[in-house]
Structure 1
Amino acid sequence: MNSGAPGTLAVGRVKFFGRHHGEVNSSAFSPDGRRLLTASEDGCVYGWETQSGRLLWRLSGHAGPVKFCRFSPDGRLFATTSCDCTIRLWDVAETKCLHVLKACSLSNPVSAGHQRSVETVSFSPDSKQLASGGWDKRVKLWEVQSGQMLRHLGDHRDSIQSSDFAPGSDSLATGSWDSTICIWDLRMGTPVIFHQELEGHSGNISCLCYSASGLLASGSWDKTIHIWKPSTRSLLVQLKGHVTWVKSIAFSPDASQLASAGYSHMVKVWDCNTGKCIETLKGVLDVAHACAFTPDGKLLVSGAADQARREVHRSIKPPRASRI
């Protein structure tokens, strides 16, 4: 492993997870960092051992490309979404599908599942609820244990491409191609649903994520990343430097850094306090589709379109607290 100056990212050995048969659309680490989950255009979800790169499972079941994947915070489950309009909940230990969340009645789409491709899914911090969104512009909230839909939160004016729960489970953020971010207050009871909008991007919202401290980052087709303080609806930092639209973003565990994958061959790492790009990782990958930090912040994974190879960068950056 290479050594580097404090606060910098040192790129060491590069690993490839290359047994996919299609592009990688999403990736996620398990809470303990020991497993890597990848969602592929080939209709399967893959599980990998992070350290060795060994393939643990290749699961089929979706009737279309798998668009997104995410582990539950307790590490017991993972969820996948697909162009087949469904969400699947899987048991990690037994690697089997527990629930298929889908439309039950075409006559009442508001109270049923999704009618078009599901692009994003998020677990609540207590792993008891699941939020989803997609091309039908609808935000749905589900109960994980039963697989039943709890409520329809509302609609965006265009496709919903990203979502994430706040650390305290009291709100949910969704990003849409209508160029807005909605913050849904989950403390309000049905049928009254309160939400606020964060406006500032001039293009489609393609990705967003919360930090452990409650900051919210959003990436857009306008080639910028915004870091927000949701409680005050204020824009703290704007990150500029991508030459193409931003495809994926991820906070480091201490929220001091943010990784971003643009629709290009490059992954950038930013200082969240200054807004400066501190590293540009130029690998041998095709278009970078996804990026994610391990829970300990020592590894950064990026996924590509060239038959979904994974490039893992080893970081020796010492942790430091965010000053925002």
Structure 2
Amino acid sequence: MNSRAPLSVGRVTFFGRHRGEVNCSAFSPDGQTLLTASEDGYLYGWETKSGQLLWRLGGHTGPVKFCCFSPDGYLFASSSSDRTIRLWELSRAECLWVLKGHQRSVETLSFSPDSRQLASGGWDKQVMLWEVQSGHKLRHLEGHHDSIQSSDFSPNANCLATGSWDSTVRIWDLRVGTPAVFHQELEGHSGNISCLCYSSSGLLIKVWDYNTGKCLETLKVRPVAAAPSEGSRKDFRTWSLVLCFWQGFLDVAHTCAFTRQGKLLVSGAAI
């Protein structure tokens, strides 16, 4: 076991102007802007360092369930129980596209590493792939037996991982034609897979090796976030997983996210 000193953690900034539960949070790639999605139907943008509210964006007609930035930092996306996805330009906080096609609440979004595609999933059991530049739907992926709650592209963008209430993770091969097929189904969970992410070396959390489908570790705390690591796979598994058990919330913590540099962590709850 690595003998590094324990993490020293302190609250830096409090973001407290939401009127409902905080369902999701995301940092911009440069770490200067924090995005939060709330049950009150609004999307909030904050200056990370000062905690100043930059904007409060309406448009969704239901709770905002998820939000994320594109890797290139130019766009961000939000999804809602109103069955729509909105693509926004960061510099003007302006909505560019409203993406329609889901039949029920959209619970998860993820941008491809090159920022050209967006994946979405939700309670209609559908995974949809969208072209970011035009807002057109490229294809949809079927196979899960219950709501899709989490998603992430592999670092090389060849695969998409999705987690579901059906207790499975599916790895979709995006190199094949339409309809896409999944080449791995990862089993072992006994409930909803509310969060998953690839490490830079290709590991998934509940820690899987996606090349072999082997479960390496079982983590029973949620939510979970992965900090950047320059170490080995062992180093990543041991030290770069932060489980949000810090005290301070009066309710369940629904979301946590690191800045790209790994120095700041945000967590959100119902208070």
* TM-score, length of structure 1 as denominator length: 0.78
Distance 2:16 2:240 in 1: 33
Letter in 2 for 1:37: L
Distance change >3 Å, CA 131–CA 99, structure 1 → 2:
same
Q: Which has the higher strand share?
A: 1
Q: Does 1:216 align with 2:201?
A: no
Q: Percent identity?
A: 67
Q: In 1, distance between residues paired with 2:243 and 2:106?
A: 34
**Correspondence 1:249 to 2:224:** yes
- The structure, 1 or 2, with the larger RCO (C-alpha pairs under 8 Å, 6+ apart) is 1
Show the counterpart of 1:124. Answer: 112
C-alpha distance in 2, partners of 1:304/1:252? 20
CA distance in 1, matches of 2:12, 2:174: 41
Residue deviations 1:231-273, cap 9 Å, x none? 1111111224x4xxx3x221011177xxxxxxxxxxxxx9723
CA contact (8 A) 1:67 1:118 kept: yes
Unaligned runs of 5+ in 2: none
What corresponds to 1:195 in structure 2? Answer: 183
* Equivalent of 1:300 in 262, 265, 271: 265
Report the equivalent of 2:94. 96
Contact 1:9 1:279 in 2 (8 A): no
Flag the 1:147–1:275 CA change in 2: closer, same or farther, 3 A: closer
Q: Does residue 171 of the first structure (1) align with residue 159 of the second (2)?
A: yes
Q: Give the aligned CA root-mean-square deviation in angstroms.
A: 2.3
> Could you tell me which of 271, 274, 289 is aligned with 2:254?
289
Tell me how far 1:192 sits from its aligned partner.
4.9
Letter in 1 for 2:140: H
> 1:276 Cα shift?
9.6
Which residue of 205, 215, 218 corresponds with 1:238?
218
Contact kept in structure 1, 2:62 and 2:82, CA below 8 Å: yes
**After superposition, what is the alpha-carbon deviation per residue over 1:62-118, rounded to whole angstroms, capped at 9, x for unaligned?**
01000000000000000000000000000000110000000xxxxxxxxxx100000
Is contact 2:229-2:240 (8 Å) kept? no
Q: Judge conservation of contact 1:188–1:194 (CA < 8 Å) in 2.
A: no
Name which of 11, 35, 54 aligns with 2:9: 11
CA contact (8 A) 2:125 2:144 kept: yes
| Distance of aligned partners of 1:273 and 1:42 in 2 relative to their CA distance in 1, 3 Å threshold | same
d(CA) in 2 for partners of 1:253 and 1:275?
A: 7
Task: Give structure 1 regions of 4+ aligned residues with deviation exceeding 4 angstroms.
Answer: 274-280
Q: CA deviation at 1:193?
A: 2.5
**What is the letter of the counterpart of residue 54 of structure 1?**
Q
For residues 155-175 of structure 1, the C-alpha deviation after alignment (integer angstroms, 9 at most, x for no partner) is 310000111111110000000
Q: Which residue of structure 2 lines up, in the alignment, with residue 228 of structure 1?
A: 208
Query: What is the SS of the residue equivalent to 1:209?
Result: coil
Measure how far apart 1:275 and its partner are.
Answer: 10
TM-score, L = length of structure 2: 0.92
